[in-house]
Amino acid sequence: MANPAILTVDDDPAVSRSVARDVRRRYGDRYRVVRADSGEAALEALREIKLRGEQVAVLLADYRMPQMNGIQFLEAAMDIFPRARRVLLTAYADTDAAIDAINIVDLDHYLLKPWNPPEEKLYPVVDAMLDAWIAAPDEAINETRVVGHRWSAPSFAVRDFLARNLVPYRWLLADEAEGGRLLSAAGLSVDEVPLVVTPDGTSLVRPSEAELAAHVGLTTTPAEEFYDLVVVGAGPAGLGAAVYGASEGLRTVLLEQRATGGQAGQSSRIENYLGFPDGVSGAQLTDRARRQALRFGAEILTTREVVALQAGGSTRLLRFGDGSMIAAHTVVLATGVSYRMLEAPGLAELTGRGVFYGSAATEAPSCAGQEIYIVGGANSAGQAAVHFSRYAKRVHILIRAGDLRRSMSQYLIAQIQEIDNIEVHPHSQVVAAEGDGHLERLSMCDPRSGEIRTADTSWLFIFIGAEPRTEWLDKAVARDQRGFVLTGPDLLADGQRPPGWSLPRDPYHLESSMPGVFAAGDVRADSVKRVASAVGEGAMAVSLIHRYLEAQ
């Protein structure tokens, strides 16, 4: 982080150099002296400093400047750095204007020119200003800042992407003071959010995920053109495959379209994972696995959408959405599953504005003291309910079944029963959502009686089943009717190998209908939908890959 700045502005070059020289001589070892020759140039410098998240301690402005005098400059500067101490440089003839400025711009001091000797006339004033500023400085910021609206779906998407990729950021509302200052510094209006300001001061307006990833330190471009192993999907299965592949010497790259961790990464707490008796959050588990893969030498690429898989002899080719390709000896498909969309009037329009798929943990603090609704009866819904119960006034779980026993682990059912502000509503389904700009009201139905009831709420989190993300595979590998990838024995219909199978052996247990392409985790047909089994399949896939490569 750069030293705090002392900014001087004077349109007279000789005076400007003189004041900057005197200030630098006394304070240059602790402060960065910024010199400007006009009010507008000084404001532009302040905007750049603001966007970089740095501090301004003192402003020294000459009164008599064309286009924008010193008082006008200081008034404008207050909107950018309200805590910076303000000193007006003025001649004796302008003393009345300087006195008036005390009321206009809350002037801290006016200094008569010339100020020689500076040891007697300049430095005592600046010392006093610096002492006052140090007592209540602007906060230096070295993290990404996001400015947006509370109920803006694009703003939520940016925050969710950063949170899921473990990028620290600060959330600022556009209609509050600091958010407004950043928008002003970037030359934007409140209607142009979200604005993302990176630690180096780069301003991104409504960025795409790929643009955002490239500016916050995430890797998006492969270092090589050919690998031993390409893993598609960075959930538990993909991370497991990447860790074991890289640790065993395979040139490994892990591709993820959105964020490492998959659905498990969104879980507030996983309590039945081996080795964590006190539980572990999905984000913590994901972070550890990600750092472990990187330590063993795996590459991890974010915001890379794979749109096609094809064979090229013994090489497996993957094509990205931008038309580029990556090649490897072997591939592990670990794309997991996504939550199904809930079909009801109003939900699509309010997604990201009170209606969320998955836990959306970034929203938990905003739910404080409010009624929230969760749709779903599996473990992910139960974990979210326990997490949100720490913030919300009441958490309502809506399930179609009569109770939770068929779909949720017993340890979670027991926890939910012990939490006073969680209420389970059996035989309930959402049939409509309403709101002006964000969710305000839900309509729910009892399918047995057809009875409709409504509830006022701004929060709905949906966890209803899962669909595999395999449309991009088309006919490259065999899939079942629901889209899950068939592997191993499931490919041997009536003892016959799959059509097009070219090897003199049967497919390995996790191998797909394309030799050298394996599936692990939730995307595989009839897999056990648990984090531990997904990690285990990722590791097992690497063991089978070694057998495959040795036979080539």
| Spatial separation of the C-alpha atoms in residues 6 and 92, rounded to whole Å | 24
Full set of structural domains in the chain with CATH: 5-135 (3.40.50.2300), 144-215 (3.40.30.10), 226-338+467-550 (3.50.50.60), 347-464 (3.50.50.60)
pLDDT value at residue 501: 92
Q: How far is CA 100 from CA 63, 129, 496, in A?
A: 12, 19, 94
| Spatial separation of the C-alpha atoms in residues 491 and 477, rounded to whole Å | 10
| Spatial separation of the C-alpha atoms in residues 276 and 294, rounded to whole Å | 22
Any residues with CB less than 8 A from the CB of 18 and at least 6 apart, and which? none
Please give the angle made by the CA atoms of 11, 107 and 134, to the nearest 5 degrees. Answer: 100
* 3 state SS for 267-291: CCCECCCCCCCCCECHHHHHHHHHH
Q: Which two tokens stand for residue 35?
A: 């010199």
3-state secondary structure of 252: strand
* Residue in the structure block whose two tokens are 């303000």: 86
pLDDT value at residue 93: 67
| Spatial separation of the C-alpha atoms in residues 357 and 47, rounded to whole Å | 38
What values do phi and psi take at 278, rounded to 5?
-95, 5
Pairing of strands 337-339, 466-468: antiparallel
Q: Which two tokens stand for residue 247?
A: 């640790």
| Spatial separation of the C-alpha atoms in residues 156 and 149, rounded to whole Å | 9
Q: Mean pLDDT, 10 residues at a time, over the chain (552 residues)?
A: 91 92 95 95 94 94 90 91 92 73 78 88 94 84 90 93 89 93 92 93 94 93 95 96 97 94 82 87 90 96 96 95 96 93 95 89 86 94 93 96 92 96 96 96 94 96 89 95 95 86 94 98 92 96 97 84
Q: How many other β-carbons are positioned within 10 Å of the β-carbon of residue 460? A: 23
* 3 state SS for 385-437: HHHHCCCCCEEEEECCCCCCCCCCCHHHHHHHHHCCCEEEECCCEEEEEECCC
The answer to whether the beta carbons of residues 220 and 303 sit under 8 Å apart is yes
Any residues with CB less than 8 A from the CB of 138 and at least 6 apart, and which? 55, 56, 81, 83, 84
Nearest residue to 261 (alpha-carbon basis) of 235, 279, 285 = 235
Give alpha helix (H) positions in 315-389.
347-350, 379-388
| Spatial separation of the C-alpha atoms in residues 354 and 342, rounded to whole Å | 14
Q: Which two tokens stand for residue 250?
A: 């395979």
User: E-assigned strands of 294-347?
Assistant: 299-302, 306-312, 315-320, 325-333, 337-339
- Residues across the chain: 552
| Spatial separation of the C-alpha atoms in residues 354 and 377, rounded to whole Å | 20
Q: Which two tokens stand for residue 144?
A: 């990404």
| Spatial separation of the C-alpha atoms in residues 397 and 464, rounded to whole Å | 12
Q: How far is CA 104 from CA 70, 75, 94, 111, in A?
A: 12, 8, 15, 17
* 3 state SS for 447-490: CCCCCEEEEECCCEEECCCEEECCHHHCCCCCECCCCCECCHHH
456 DSSP β-pair partners: 441
pLDDT value at residue 97: 72
pLDDT value at residue 324: 95
Nearest residue to 89 (alpha-carbon basis) of 67, 110, 108 = 110
| Spatial separation of the C-alpha atoms in residues 201 and 488, rounded to whole Å | 52
Q: How many other β-carbons are positioned within 10 Å of the β-carbon of residue 25? A: 12
pLDDT value at residue 268: 78
| Spatial separation of the C-alpha atoms in residues 121 and 112, rounded to whole Å | 9
Q: Chain-centre distance of CA 64, in angstroms?
A: 47
The answer to whether the beta carbons of residues 27 and 6 sit under 8 Å apart is yes
| Spatial separation of the C-alpha atoms in residues 58 and 4, rounded to whole Å | 9
Enter the pTM of the model: 0.82
Helix (H) or strand (E) holding 543, with range, is helix 531-550
Q: How far is CA 235 from CA 271, 301, 549, in A?
A: 17, 13, 24
Burial category of 296 from C-beta neighbours within 10 Å (exposed 0-12, middle 13-18, buried 19 and up): middle
